[in-house]
Structure 1
Amino acid sequence: MAPRNRSPKRRRSRSRSDRRRRPNDSKITRQRCSSSDEEKKAVPAAAPSTVAKPPKPREVVTVTLATRPFGMAPSKEAAASGYMVEKVAEDKPAAQAGIEQGWTVKQVAGTDCQGMASAAVQALLKDAALPVEVQFEKPESETLPSSEDENDILNVRADQRRGNEAALSNIDDLPVDREPEDLPVPICSWREAVDRKLLNASLVQKLHAAGLKRPTLIQRHAIPIIGHADHWDLVAQAQTGSGKTFAFVIPTIARLVLRGCPARPFFPGPTAQACPVVLVLSPTRELAIQTCTEIEVLTKGTKLSQMSIYGGETIKETAKRVEAAPIDIVCATPGRLIALLDETKLSLAYVQTVILDEADQMLEQRLEIMCADILVGRDMPAPNSGRQTLLFSATIPQKIRDMCPQILRTVRTGHLTIGHYAEDKGGSCESIKQVLRWSPDDKQRIGELIRDLRTYWDRKKGRVVIFSNMRITADSLAHQLQRESMTCRHLHGKLDQEVREKVFDGFRRGEFDILVATNVASRGLDFPDVSLVVQFNLPEDIDVYTHRVGRTGRIGQVGLALAYMGPKDKKIATKLLEFLELNKQEVPDFLRDLSLRVETLRRGR
């Protein structure tokens, strides 16, 4: 598909409450003030190395309501301390005026309500002459963060994301291909997403706390498409490290936060059955765990619950977690999900959104059969029922596109491609320098690797991921590098789950410098500060090569990818040559010669 730039004309978006508001029913004005006595107290003395900031003023909203019933109810838990809105009925004056859960009544018709119990405030609202002017105070978390606030948040991953902020500009100018042309227009900032009712201020606070100061290119385009009221299906393709996970996590979770999670039956105990409304399918355990962790960034502090489900623990252990409480969001590997379905511990009958992360791998080989069983062979609603289906990956081969009509809706399906792509040549990774070395003797290769690590790897700039095709090779490499006084661990699919999680978490926390892994670590995993990726053995497929390379150069950063090639790698030679040319990389003569011999033999058959 030829990439092309489009700059769709911006159009003003009106909220449902704007469209439904009846004349003279209500009007709303806003002002900034500091209204809490607690906030006026002196700020405690700060440490010498820090500067104390005055408390942020809370936003006060004045609403004029002209008809009863207003359509709002107070929290019973906070009844003694005032009237805090817990419920807002749709199509009633309160909803039409934009009143939201968590707001606290400050004044009714000029009467100060601070210090009053909820019942007293309710009496004022009931007896006040119409139209009545009501002043609300929004909770502190509902105030949009300023750029200064973001620097106050200390979090390891957040700091790492903030450190990579400057690198975002490297991917801002990538070409964007959107089909069809009437897809919802992209956002430019989190604030615009709030204005368009795709997010609220509390969610933006959480994004800022996680170090996400502004949306990446794919997030700007994907969030309004996924979050649109028409529930578009989407096939999204973007280079590795571009922010794809949050591109589907943000709008999916925001919809549940803004519109509420539908009620489902749940009876705790041995007969309990989980009924999630969002399902994320991942090809590996580590990716399922990572995605669940990213989801928690937005669900923390809400009533939403999420769970990662994967092999490595017994069905009984997984079932016990399911029996404890209702689950709204499930991140799962296909095999373990099917096992729970067979045990009737989980139902897909209430799924509203299903996401296939690393979709090219999910719909190929043995996983294809499992995914087909999950999507069409169980109790999941059919695509034409209104179920939303999202496919995300760095590579979407034609075979996968041919399968889309079977799992996506025939209408309301968008296609989004970000970056330079050429047919069957993989995606662009121009910010990653790729070095290919000829190494025909497998026994001598470890010595070459050690020398190259000392040449190419600067420990001050980041860490290393080394890929091998075999588990025994990964284990051997890790031990030999340890003998060279390099801190190193290995990761592959046959390790016990507890060991896999310990290695995975340890590398993310920076407990060691080098991770030697099989393809279990090549898909979607976001490791901070990886400056060098080494492919000790080349894969047979160019898409696998692309995903491996993508473990460095995340979010537009510059990275280095080193690979060793030998006579056994002739199957990938031609595709690798095309991939290097696509990314404007130096092509060594030995690769051109090998590719030429392969093509000559192929044409001679």
Structure 2
Amino acid sequence: MIGIAKTGSGKTAAFIWPILVHIMDQKELEPGEGPIAIIVCPTRELCQQIHAECKRFGKAYSLRSVAVYGGGSMWEQAKALQEGAEIVVCTPEVELLLSGSDKWNWLTRRLVEFTSTGSVLIFVTKKANSEELATNLTQEGYSLGLLHGDMDQSERNKVISDFKKKNLPVLVATDVAARGLDIPSIRTVVNYDVARDIDTHTHRIGRTGRAGEKGVAYTLLTSKDTSFAGDLVRNLEGANQAVPKELMDLAMQVG
């Protein structure tokens, strides 16, 4: 659910109460399970604010909430996640780059580090882009799977199975193909191409940090991504947060 309303009008309570009702309908978490709900917000301050509300409302039901955001103690956040939580409140981890070639350089510089911590899911927008990126990474020596909407179901099942078993450390996928993927070993999501809309973006980054594990999502923006930059700016402004100059400059190029 995406809710838009004035400050102080009860947005937080409006989505926390249905979350609590849903959680209370589930069986109690076993060690290594959870979270049941993930709340993604645009800034650290908003993340802390929502986390405080989750703790306040959830206390009566002995439900645990963990806040995960950049700038906090990674050790403390990881420890809190390992101890288990029904709710995780987190921020989406954004990289502003100059061009498509910068995206490629950014990815190849970090991919070894990403795969050393767990499985990596890379999102691209179009089938042709997914095939091109998969081919280029294969030529660089990476072992990976490819998932897009034109593959038949048996091909898709084989790739997903290999990725789940960790036979393939990297999966390059389009939104259509990756809808609903629930793979606990995914530690990193890279939005190599930005999503078509904020809803799809939220779904993508929710593929990591599952089953109570730690996860990081990166979104790579270039000068072509003016409309998506506008969405991010609106998110930041709606939370009364400072907008980085580079991001604002990019958003102002719309139209």
Q: Smaller-chain TM-score range?
A: 0.5 to 0.7
Shift of 1:541: 0.4
Look up the equivalent residue of 2:16 and give its one-letter code: V
Q: What is residue 148 of structure 1 aligned with on the other side?
A: none
Number of equivalences = 202
Look up the equivalent residue of 1:485 and give its one-letter code: G
Q: What is residue 12 of structure 2 aligned with on the other side?
A: 3
Q: What is residue 536 of structure 1 aligned with on the other side?
A: 192
User: Can you list the C-alpha shifts for 1:500-545, whole angstroms capped at 9, x where unaligned?
Assistant: 1100111111111000000024432111211111111112301111
Change in Cα spacing, 1:511 to 1:586, as seen in structure 2 (3 Å) is farther
Query: Are residues 1:186 and 2:33 paired?
Result: no
Q: 3-state DSSP class of the match of 2:180? A: coil
Q: 3-state DSSP class of the match of 1:540? A: coil
Equivalents in 2 of 1:483, 1:595: separation in Å? 35
Query: Are residues 1:177 and 2:17 paired?
Result: yes
Q: What is residue 97 of structure 2 aligned with on the other side?
A: 438
Query: Are residues 1:462 and 2:113 paired?
Result: no
CA contact (8 A) 1:432 1:560 kept: no
CA contact (8 A) 2:194 2:225 kept: yes
CA contact (8 A) 2:120 2:186 kept: yes
Structure with greater Cα Rg: 1
Look up the equivalent residue of 1:3 and give its one-letter code: T
Q: What is residue 450 of structure 1 aligned with on the other side?
A: 108
Equivalents in 2 of 1:584, 1:555: separation in Å? 32
Equivalents in 2 of 1:419, 1:575: separation in Å? 26
Look up the equivalent residue of 1:484 and give its one-letter code: E
- In the alignment, which of 15, 38, 41 is matched to residue 239 of structure 1? 38
Query: Are residues 1:483 and 2:142 paired?
Result: no
Change in Cα spacing, 1:585 to 1:189, as seen in structure 2 (3 Å) is farther
Change in Cα spacing, 1:581 to 1:555, as seen in structure 2 (3 Å) is farther
Shift of 1:582: 7.9
In structure 2, stretches of 5+ residues that fail to align are 4-10, 41-64, 68-86
Query: Are residues 1:573 and 2:229 paired?
Result: yes
Shift of 1:439: 3.1
CA contact (8 A) 1:540 1:571 kept: no
Q: Aligned Cα RMSD in Å?
A: 3.9
Equivalents in 2 of 1:507, 1:590: separation in Å? 36
Q: 3-state DSSP class of the match of 1:450? A: helix
Equivalents in 1 of 2:130, 2:211: separation in Å? 27
Larger relative contact order (C-alpha < 8 A, sep ≥ 6)? 2
User: Can you list the C-alpha shifts for 1:76-129, whole angstroms capped at 9, x where unaligned?
Assistant: xxxxxxxxxxxxxxxxxxxxxxxxxxxxxxxxxxxxxxxxxxxxxxxxxxxxxx
User: Can you list the C-alpha shifts for 1:193-229, whole angstroms capped at 9, x where unaligned?
Assistant: xxxxxxxxxxxxxxxxxx94598575xxxxxxxxxxx
Q: What is residue 494 of structure 1 aligned with on the other side?
A: 150
Taking the TM superposition and a 5 Å limit, the aligned residue runs for 1:366-377 are none
Taking the TM superposition and a 5 Å limit, the aligned residue runs for 1:553-572 are 553-572=209-228
Equivalents in 2 of 1:561, 1:501: separation in Å? 24
Query: Are residues 1:551 and 2:198 paired?
Result: no
Change in Cα spacing, 1:592 to 1:558, as seen in structure 2 (3 Å) is farther
Look up the equivalent residue of 1:544 and give its one-letter code: T
Taking the TM superposition and a 5 Å limit, the aligned residue runs for 1:42-81 are none
Equivalents in 1 of 2:152, 2:208: separation in Å? 26
Change in Cα spacing, 1:487 to 1:184, as seen in structure 2 (3 Å) is closer
In structure 1, stretches of 5+ residues that fail to align are 6-174, 191-210, 219-237, 242-417, 421-427
Equivalents in 2 of 1:472, 1:4: separation in Å? 43
Equivalents in 2 of 1:582, 1:556: separation in Å? 29
Query: Are residues 1:511 and 2:170 paired?
Result: no
Q: What is residue 248 of structure 2 aligned with on the other side?
A: 592
Equivalents in 2 of 1:453, 1:556: separation in Å? 23
Look up the equivalent residue of 2:248 and give its one-letter code: R
Q: 3-state DSSP class of the match of 1:457? A: helix
Equivalents in 2 of 1:435, 1:514: separation in Å? 20
Q: What is residue 7 of structure 2 aligned with on the other side?
A: none
Shift of 1:497: 1.9
Equivalents in 1 of 2:241, 2:172: separation in Å? 25
Taking the TM superposition and a 5 Å limit, the aligned residue runs for 1:79-478 are 176-178=16-18, 186=24, 190=28, 212=30, 238-239=37-38, 430-431=89-90, 434-440=93-99, 442-454=100-112, 457-459=114-116, 461-478=117-134
Structure-1-length-normalised TM-score = 0.29
Look up the equivalent residue of 2:103 and give its one-letter code: R
Look up the equivalent residue of 2:12 and give its one-letter code: P
Equivalents in 2 of 1:567, 1:491: separation in Å? 27
Change in Cα spacing, 1:576 to 1:495, as seen in structure 2 (3 Å) is same
Look up the equivalent residue of 1:545 and give its one-letter code: H
CA contact (8 A) 1:489 1:516 kept: yes
Look up the equivalent residue of 1:514 and give its one-letter code: V
Look up the equivalent residue of 1:437 and give its one-letter code: L
Equivalents in 2 of 1:474, 1:446: separation in Å? 13
User: Can you list the C-alpha shifts for 1:345-381, whole angstroms capped at 9, x where unaligned?
Assistant: xxxxxxxxxxxxxxxxxxxxxxxxxxxxxxxxxxxxx
Q: What is residue 46 of structure 2 aligned with on the other side?
A: none
